[in-house]
Amino acid sequence: QKEVEQDPGPLSVPEGAIVSLNCTYSNSAFQYFMWYRQYSRKGPELLMYTYSSGNKEDGRFTAQVDKSSKYISLFIRDSQPSDSATYLCAMRPSNDYKLSFGAGTTVTVRA
Amino acid sequence: DAGVTQSPTHLIKTRGQQVTLRCSPKSGHDTVSWYQQALGQGPQFIFQYYEEEERQRGNFPDRFSGHQFPNYSSELNVNALLLGDSALYLCASAWGGYEQYFGPGTRLTVT
């Protein structure tokens, strides 16, 4: 079993729709949770960085963490064609520098 | 403000050869981590350098080694290349090692 599970998709939505992405994990020591966006053949770009459980909102992006269920989510409101990319979840324990990543979900937003 | 830079962009090597990849961190960052990303997978942690020392290492063989220079830039060296080493190699920098920002990557092809 992988430490971090992420549905690879692909996910295709019309422009303006809400995109819902999620990851599950098995290591209860994970405390910090991140979402990265990666365009084809580029490096990952940090979108959201959250600590422990709760919600965090930044513009059209909302990240949710439910540590009791070992489940994290990313919602993208009013999706745009420019949001078409692979979205990677990542996480780490406190006082640990190694990020553990999901395999990524490929999203296409159709104009 | 320049972000994380990596060189070269692409590289083609033959099995058994050695390769050196280079990374310059984002201004103000003192920590460099290296990750390997195979096609269709999330990045896998190789190691992290801080104060010119390897601070943490992932599950990679000793063929993978690194170095950090006094200006915080870093090199990743891979010896005795295998076909399976073909991947995108990502460098990430941080202040203190935690919130990591990625460079564009070096795509290594081993033939």
Interchain proximity B42–A46, CB inside 8 Å: no
Chain A nearest-CA distance from B4, in A, is: 10
Nearest to A51 by CA among A67, A68, A34, A32: A32
Q: What is the Cβ-side half-sphere exposure of residue B10, based on CA atoms within 13 angstroms?
A: 3
Residue B97 pLDDT exceeds 70: no
Over residues A89-103, the pLDDT tens digits come to 999 999 888 999 999
A interface test, pick of B100, B106, B108 with most A CB neighbours within 10 Å: B100
DSSP A18: P
**Model confidence band, residue A80 (pLDDT cutoffs 50, 70, 90):** very high
State residue A95's pLDDT score.
Answer: 84
CB nearest B102 (choices: A44, A96, A102): A44
**Rounded to an integer, what distance in angstroms lies between the CA atom of residue A77 and that of residue A18?**
5
Over residues A52-67, the pLDDT tens digits come to 888 999 999 999 999 9
Residue B1 pLDDT exceeds 70: no
Angle at A33 between CA A28 and CA A36, to 5 degrees: 140
CB nearest A103 (choices: B35, B42, B92): B42
Nearest to B4 by CA among B25, B32, B21: B25
CB nearest A98 (choices: B6, B56, B103): B56
State residue A84's pLDDT score.
Answer: 97
**Rounded to an integer, what distance in angstroms lies between the CA atom of residue B39 and that of residue A40?**
11
In the sheet that holds A71-76, the strands lie side by side as A4-6, A19-25, A71-76, A61-66, A54-58
Chain B nearest-CA distance from A77, in A, is: 24
The reply to whether A50 touches chain B by the CB within 8 Å rule is: no
Q: How much is the average pLDDT of B9-16?
A: 98
Q: Are the C-beta atoms of B74 and B65 separated by less than 8 Å?
A: no
CB nearest A43 (choices: B40, B58, B90): B90
Strand (E) positions, chain A? 4-6, 11-14, 19-25, 30-38, 45-51, 54-58, 61-66, 71-76, 85-93, 100-101, 105-110
The residue of chain B with its CA nearest to that of A93 is: B98
Over residues A6-58, the pLDDT tens digits come to 988 899 999 999 999 999 999 999 999 999 999 998 999 999 999 888 899 99
